[in-house]
Amino acid sequence: MARVPRGPFARHVSMNAPLTKNDSGFDIESGSFRDPESRIFYAEGAVYRALSRDGLADFEALKATKVFESTQADGRLVRTELVEEADSHPNLLVHERAGVLKHERIPFVSYPYEWTFSMLKDAALLQLDLLEASLKEGLTLKDASSYNVQFKGSKPVFVDVGSFERRREGEGWVGYRQFCMLFLYPLMLQAVKDVPYHGLLRGQIDGIPPTQMRDLSSFRDRFRKGFTTSVFLHARLEAKYADRAGEVKGDLKRANMQSEILLAQVRKMRKVVGRLQWNPPQGVWVAYGERNSYSDADAQRKDEFVREVATSQRWPITWDIGANNGRYSRIAAEGSDYVLALDADQGPMELLYRTLRDEGAENILTLTMNLADQSPNLGWRGTERRDLAGRGVPDLVLALALIHHTTITANVPVAEFIDWLASLETSLVIEFPTHEDPMVQKLLSGKREGLHTDYERGNFERVLWDAFDVERRERLASGTRLLYYARPKGQGAPLALPAED
């Protein structure tokens, strides 16, 4: 069985990619190499950023502004301080290191191709708000990557402090194209076309190019707000100047872009983004928590079972996989420092995120991900963005009303699913609906008879007992669903494998 590596940074990593060891023993964030003026590294559980001379001067300019003061106070910018004893830290830059920053640690890293529509929209608005506030104080943002934003629960936080720099006279919005590709175009596709952007962003780390967005648009879209300039004109100009980047740069310099013009451009973009709306369809899974086959007694006992486990100790991080409307994510949060709510359906995750955002909750992170097709390692040498387990493993997993969908719908064998869970070395609450369960019957009705012979309670229990120390088993009153609590091998007081009843 493959095991997930564990170490001082395995559980709570705070930036974007796998770690590589420096000769000095510091762990280097291999996803932060693109900015020659700053580089992230880790030491003794803390997050640091090495700065070049220009990078340090830019930070000092930022620190002197009201932008820095206000965003540090309200948490929109990752908490940051200049480290005095910087000489003891490594030089990881092309240029000579001139200073080191220490950052707050983000509980769990997520990526734009895992966010719901409102998460991406809120991140876009944060980016624009910070750019507008910076321009007013003589600063700008050198890029507009959606990866510069992370989430603490439902709160977007800008983490790339190195993106702030002093604005050069006459310079335009250098991050405009990147903003369109990684923020605007994905939001437009979802809002106007009802086309999910997740696969496109996962397949293209730099986002959706203007020419591709134009090709995905219709003639009628030319008359929609924002499309004419940001899509069609943008694509035409990009095609025209594809091999003349130096000429474009010279033209912009001669245009001597004034800050007032830039502010107007940013404010216009904010209006375009602010108008984009998307609401999930009211399908059965969006309202699953209210419309399902559970009796009141089953639902109440299931709540109690999950709560008994979730509050039996303090869990640093819990994953609720197949979270749906977040009912059990909220129960898990009663005994967890942080909860990751995962579901393949964007609809319930979107609604849950909106509710958590309205509540100001920062302890539940909602993500859209198909467990049968999890986010892989991506980017340069496969190290800039990492897979799910590579960002930190859970202490407790809730897998409720899930295994029949994974096994029957996605054709993942029962043993494979349990082996993956065991590889996380996590405690586990798992639900098994038997063949007699109405939902299992529905899923099997579309399959050839005898295709899923491994989906059988006796086989499931044998596999589970082999992989975990199972401490509790309980059949719900309806008789078609069983709940189990299991711990990693060697950590529990296991029950004997029961005879099939």
* Strands of 73-127, DSSP E: 80-83, 97-103
H/E segment holding residue 327: helix 327-333
* ∠ Cα 245 202 240 (to 5°): 20
* ∠ Cα 283 285 286 (to 5°): 70
- Residue 95 has what pLDDT? 74
Which residue from 153, 149, 172, 152 is spatially nearest to 161, judged by alpha carbons?
Answer: 149
Cut 0.85: pTM above it? yes
How confident is the model over 428-432, as a mean pLDDT? 98
Type of residue at 280: P
Q: Using 50, 70 and 90 to split pLDDT, how confident is the model at 5?
A: very low
**Residue 466, token pair as written in the block:** 């082999």
Percent of the chain whose pLDDT exceeds 70: 87
The winner for highest mean pLDDT among 46-55, 165-174, 244-253, 315-324 is: 315-324
3 state DSSP class of 164: strand
260 has pLDDT over 90: no
- Residue 8 has what pLDDT? 30
CA distances from residue 384 to 78, 175, 381 in whole angstroms, order as listed: 20, 20, 8
Alpha-carbon gap, residue 417 to 372, rounded angstroms: 9
- Residue 283 has what pLDDT? 67
252 has pLDDT over 70: no
136 has pLDDT over 80: yes
- Residue 91 has what pLDDT? 65
Question: pLDDT tens digits for 372-426?
Answer: 999 999 999 898 999 999 999 999 999 999 999 999 999 999 999 999 999 999 9
135 has pLDDT over 70: yes
Q: Where are the domains of the chain?
A: 19-103, 112-275, 296-488
What mean pLDDT value characterizes the chain?
88
What is 420-471 written as a DSSP string?
HHHHTT-EEEEEEE-TTSHHHHHHHHTS-TTTTTT-SHHHHHHHHHHHEEEE
Alpha-carbon gap, residue 264 to 36, rounded angstroms: 30
6 has pLDDT over 70: no
Residue 23 exposed, middle or buried by CB count within 10 Å (0-12, 13-18, 19+): exposed
The CB density around residue 141, as the number of other CB atoms within 10 Å, is 24
What is 246-270 written as a DSSP string?
HHHHHHHHHHTB-HHHHHHHHHHHH
Question: pLDDT tens digits for 138-182?
Answer: 999 999 999 999 999 999 999 999 999 999 888 889 999 999 999
- Residue 256 has what pLDDT? 53
Distance between the two ends of the chain, CA-based, in angstroms? 30
- Residue 4 has what pLDDT? 40
Type of residue at 199: G
Residue 386 exposed, middle or buried by CB count within 10 Å (0-12, 13-18, 19+): buried
- Residue 498 has what pLDDT? 83
Question: pLDDT tens digits for 185-211?
Answer: 999 999 999 999 999 999 999 999 999
> Would you identify the CATH topology of the domain 296-488?
Rossmann fold (3.40.50)
How confident is the model over 59-86, as a mean pLDDT? 93
Question: pLDDT tens digits for 333-370?
Answer: 999 999 999 999 999 999 999 999 999 999 999 999 99
111 has pLDDT over 50: yes
Q: Find the range with the poorest average confidence among 1-15, 33-47, 79-93, 274-288.
A: 1-15
42 beta partners = 27, 47
Residue with the two structure tokens 């202490």: 395
Phi-psi region of 31 (alpha: psi -120 to 50; beta: other; left: phi over 0): alpha
Most distant CA pair in the chain, distance: 82
Question: pLDDT tens digits for 20-71?
Answer: 555 455 788 877 888 888 889 888 888 999 999 999 999 999 999 999 999 9
CB burial readout 343-361, b (16+ within 10 A) else e:
bbbbbbbbbbbbbbbeeeb
Alpha-carbon gap, residue 348 to 370, rounded angstroms: 13
CA distances from residue 399 to 138, 227, 323, 485, 490 in whole angstroms, order as listed: 50, 42, 8, 10, 21
Residue 459 exposed, middle or buried by CB count within 10 Å (0-12, 13-18, 19+): middle
- Residue 443 has what pLDDT? 93
238 has pLDDT over 90: no
